[in-house]
Amino acid sequence: MNSLIGIMAGSRLIKSDLDLHLVRGSMVLIFLLFGYQKWFEYEAQTLIPFIDNGPLTSWMYPVFGLYGASYFLGVSEWLTAALLVWGFWNAKAGILGAVLSVGTFVTTVSIIPFMPDGWNAAAGGFPAMQGNVAFLMKDVVLLAVSVYLLKQDVVRAARPEAERREGQDVSNGRARAAGELAAQ
């Protein structure tokens, strides 16, 4: 096992920021696709139980109306995607995108306890999720991913300017440490 760890720790895959780039790219895709949906009638109708039952979203229909709320969410999601894309090159933009992403998923996860009929009574209720609650559970992972992106961009932005110019990345230190452990 130590040999495998040593080989992996020395590989470009581990030494690079591939993990960060894959996670960021995945989140960009998610925000682009979900934002796109918000411009159509079917999605505006689909959002009704989520917005109505969300403690952080229930204000949206009185303020924006049915379609305005959907458009607001679409614009917010596309703004988040744009900032996350910019975050590939600019850590401060990435921080803003990650903060919006964290806010998005805190908001959607907060709906879970308030969603009617989210737990299957025939199966004993909680934890037998169903329907909209089952759909929202993915947002728990997306919230964790958003926190990861936020942490990575804060670390990148906080590095001294000289390190940033030299192109050193945070993962190099992690890979070196893993290689040293494997060599022991």
pLDDT in tens, the chain (184 residues): 988 888 888 888 777 888 999 999 999 999 999 999 999 999 999 999 999 999 999 999 999 999 999 999 999 999 999 999 999 999 999 999 999 999 999 999 999 999 998 888 888 888 889 899 999 999 999 999 999 999 999 999 998 775 666 555 444 555 454 455 455 5
10 located within any domain: no
60 located within any domain: yes
Contacts of residue 151, Cβ cutoff 8 Å, sequence gap at least 6: none
Query: Residue with structure tokens 């300017």?
Result: 161
Long-range Cβ pairs for the range 150-154 (8 Å, 24+): 150/95, 150/98, 150/99, 150/101, 150/102, 152/20, 152/94, 153/87, 153/91, 153/92, 153/94, 153/95, 153/98, 154/91, 154/95
8 located within any domain: no
Rounded to an integer, what distance in angstroms lies between the CA atom of residue 22 and that of residue 68?
A: 32
Determine the structural domain holding residue 50 and report its residue range: 19-161
SS3 of residue 119 by DSSP:
strand
24 located within any domain: yes
64 located within any domain: yes
- pTM over 0.75, yes/no: yes
62 located within any domain: yes
Number of domains the chain contains? 1
12 located within any domain: no
Query: Residue with structure tokens 């975050």?
Result: 87
Structure tokens at 81: 């995607």
Start-to-end CA distance of the chain, whole Å, equals 12
